[in-house]
Structure 1
Amino acid sequence: MCVEPQKLLYTYRMTREEYNSLYEKYLAGKCSIQERIDLENFQDSFEFKGQEWNESLMGNSEEIKESIQEDLFNSIQEHDRSRVFRARRWYSAAAAVLILISAGLYYSNRSAEPVLVKTELPRFKNDIAPGKNKAVLTLDDGSTIDLDDAKNGILASESNIDIKKTGSGQLEYTAGAQGTKTVKYNTLSTPKGGEYQLLLPDGSKVWLNSGSTLRFPTAFVGSERIVELNGEAYFDIAKNSKMPFLVRTNNAMDIKVLGTQFNVMAYDDEKNINTTLIEGSVEVLKGSGKTMLKPGQEAILNRGSGNIKVASADLEQAIAWKNGYFIFYNENIESIMRKVSRWYNVDVIYQGNLSNKDFVGTISRNKNVSELLKMLELTGAVNFSIDGRRITVMP
């Protein structure tokens, strides 16, 4: 198939941080004369990021690189702070692909219509800081402890179990010397814009993502260790062959392990429940059915059909939130904005047709929301406005 190349946005062989910083300064009109010269004259080599080059779709890579370099220099010389890069276009029956290398993003438009790539900075009425360690602990008697306000140290004791807040945004449960046979239940809840870590009394570790709850006993007794999850959590389970660990997800399915590391995404507003195995082994239980996972696999339960599919997992993407990143891979804007809504504690509304637009990219979760939205806007596929804690998404 003969196709015409589309111009790509890209980065040269500076570090990504150096290039992004300098380019954003230029867009904002804050470059010094020397910085502008550096940007214009920088002619080192660059690479296309993260995706295998498909020559039949994208054209000759060397020709594309040459046209990119020429377009950048022309755009810098000919346009001021508010610029529009017009794109040469790939045409194919399947897709037209726009790649934003400097932000680690590209946008795939499943229609084959031309794309006008706008790179002017958006105007927002306000900005919103990222989430942080924030959670509420509900004790067995129904009383609550706001962990934001609580001082470090022992917060409470239940049935010879000490509940302690550490300085690292972590809650620890420690059994006294006499142990306990009395089972009491606590619930750890993270609001939108919150996350927290939990050390269970058996030594298992849990990372709880924003907008999530975990109900668990203050001590594990009997033949099983059972917790109940709504939302998303990463588990690092202490081994105990005599007492399996079970994660129950809103009565939808159970995840049974002996000692392993895995991630469970079970938000009510997602159509699937995903269980991703990092190491060890996991048994996914749904009704009378059982599905075994190997490391690097994920079980995907479709809430509508009740069917479970096992597939190879992108481990980096699955646990990106735990490591402080958003990682998108062929992800539509609605899915991305659900994550944004949870982490930044914002409401999201949509205007216009935003279907058939998928994104790939990696962005830190430690940035203000405006920086994330600006990166997405640079693809030319989507625009945003911010008013208070409301984000409007527009074509």
Structure 2
Amino acid sequence: MKQEDVLALLKRYEENTCTKAEKKLLLQWLAEQAECDEPVWQSEEERTAVREMLYHRLDRTLFTPKWYRRKAVLRPVAAACLLCLFSALAWLYAGRQSTDQYEKFYTSEAVDPGSSAALLTLADGSTIRLDEADNGLLSNKNGVMIKKMDNGELVYEVDESIPLDKDGNVAKNTISIPRGGKYQLTLPDGSKVWLNSGSTLVYPAVFVGKTRTVTLTGEAYFEVAHNRAQPFIVQALDNEIEVTGTHFNISAYHDQQQVKTTLVEGGVIVSKNKTRLVLTPGQQAISNFENDEIEKLNVDPFYALAWTKGYFVFEDLDIKTIMNDIARWYNVDIEYKGKGNYKKIGGTYLRSKGLQELLNHLEALSGAHFQLTERRVIVSM
């Protein structure tokens, strides 16, 4: 953020006029600052404002009367926020920990977090490793140019022709994200898509006909280009999500046994067989595999979109559900031992951290024991 934006947010925060979204943006910026090897201040005014904000927040949180009326045990996310504040203050005044202290989590067993990686399969069967390809023009066939931008994003440019495959159908491309990968692309209609680890998106090289239809397995965040005359449809396992122009997240992994659609902006219709559900911003549809029912919940979209901002956010989840996400992002296999009670826990973690540090946190919260050996995590209770 620009200096004037940071200072304006800090001022509104002190005046208690920040929106919920602005507070999250400010905390995200603080977390990013804390990750720098050296503090980066655009001015002494900014540094002072941050210091005062952190002190005031801690003072209000720890010493106001309402604190003592709350439950003795903090909710995991609240505890994580407090930990973040204490860490930020220590970083602000004392600097980063010494190299030896900081790297104690990054043992020789640590597995690297994911990075931008994807395989693009064109309609003719040819493939392109997008993480290895040079920036610039990747393909120019049948009136469709595919370019890789400097930021790694994939962009399509289409002329007036309609590319067809060998069977006479509109040519389709497939982008596959491996475990330990992520990727962003712009579809031929201008819609933007962010794809999470272990995901696959099938889409036409050009959108023709009455709808713009794509097929998703895994997780993706969509910012759909507005075109009311040609609705955008996502087929996600046994769900169909129809939109005209909106921002939403879909999680549709086979191992989760459900499809979650979270609406951020606009409107969508979630369908499964004869069941149809209309979502408004801040609502989530949950569809389980075993029946045709779709549950509607009022949620904070932040939790569904945290992965796009570089965070794991776990709230009231059991270890097995959490480990599914970890397995995809760090590209590891999970093995369970014992028949312990896997209680539900929560927390917020940077996805850029090494796996061993995350396992240390989970072990302290859950009571489970984690052993990392090569690319396998053994979970014991």
TM-score by length of 2: 0.73
**Structure-2 change in CA distance of 1:219 and 1:306 (3 Å):** same
Residue of structure 2 in register with 1:152 after alignment? 135
**Structure-2 change in CA distance of 1:221 and 1:380 (3 Å):** closer
Residue of structure 1 in register with 2:72 after alignment? 58
Deviation readout 1:217-262 (Å, 9 max, x if unpaired): 0000111000000000000000001000000012x01000000000
**Structure-2 change in CA distance of 1:172 and 1:123 (3 Å):** closer
Q: Secondary structure at the match of 2:320?
A: helix
Alignment partner of 1:236 out of 223, 243, 246: 223
Amino acid at match of 2:211: E
Residue of structure 1 in register with 2:6 after alignment? none
Aligned residues of 2:121 and 2:173 also touching (Cα < 8 A): yes
Amino acid at match of 2:341: S
Alignment partner of 1:180 out of 148, 151, 162: 162
Query: Displacement of 1:45 after TM fit?
Result: 5.0
Please say which structure displays the higher CA radius of gyration: 1
Cα RMSD for the two superposed structures: 3.0
Structure 2 Cα separation of the partners of residues 45 and 197 of structure 1: 41
Deviation readout 1:289-342 (Å, 9 max, x if unpaired): 321000000110011122100111221110111111000110111111100000
Residue of structure 1 in register with 2:284 after alignment? 298
Structure 1 Cα separation of the partners of residues 124 and 114 of structure 2: 29
Amino acid at match of 1:263: N
Residue of structure 2 in register with 1:216 after alignment? 203
Residue of structure 2 in register with 1:88 after alignment? none
**Structure-2 change in CA distance of 1:266 and 1:18 (3 Å):** closer
Deviation readout 1:58-102 (Å, 9 max, x if unpaired): 39x9xxxxxxxxxxxxxxxxxxxxxxxxxxxxxxxxx9xx95652
Aligned residues of 1:171 and 1:199 also touching (Cα < 8 A): yes
Query: Displacement of 1:352 after TM fit?
Result: 2.2
Residue of structure 1 in register with 2:115 after alignment? 132
Residue of structure 2 in register with 1:142 after alignment? 125
**Structure-2 change in CA distance of 1:20 and 1:161 (3 Å):** closer
Q: Identify, as 1 or 2, the structure richer in strand.
A: 1
Residue of structure 2 in register with 1:362 after alignment? 348
Q: Secondary structure at the match of 2:370?
A: strand
Structure 2 Cα separation of the partners of residues 308 and 16 of structure 1: 36
Query: Displacement of 1:356 after TM fit?
Result: 4.3
Structure 2 Cα separation of the partners of residues 17 and 290 of structure 1: 41
Structure 2 Cα separation of the partners of residues 139 and 376 of structure 1: 41
TM-score by length of 1: 0.70
Residue of structure 2 in register with 1:382 after alignment? 368
Query: Displacement of 1:123 after TM fit?
Result: 10
**Structure-2 change in CA distance of 1:343 and 1:46 (3 Å):** farther
**Structure-2 change in CA distance of 1:271 and 1:222 (3 Å):** same
Q: Which has the higher contact order (CA 8 A, sep 6+)?
A: 1
Amino acid at match of 1:353: K
**Structure-2 change in CA distance of 1:19 and 1:169 (3 Å):** closer
**Structure-2 change in CA distance of 1:386 and 1:137 (3 Å):** same
Unaligned runs of 5+ in 1: 1-14, 22-43, 62-94, 105-120
Aligned residues of 2:332 and 2:377 also touching (Cα < 8 A): yes
Amino acid at match of 1:355: N
Alignment partner of 2:83 out of 82, 102, 126: 102
Q: Secondary structure at the match of 1:319?
A: helix
Aligned residues of 2:163 and 2:171 also touching (Cα < 8 A): no
Amino acid at match of 2:360: K
Amino acid at match of 1:157: N
Unaligned runs of 5+ in 2: 1-29, 37-57, 86-103, 165-169
Aligned residues of 1:122 and 1:384 also touching (Cα < 8 A): no
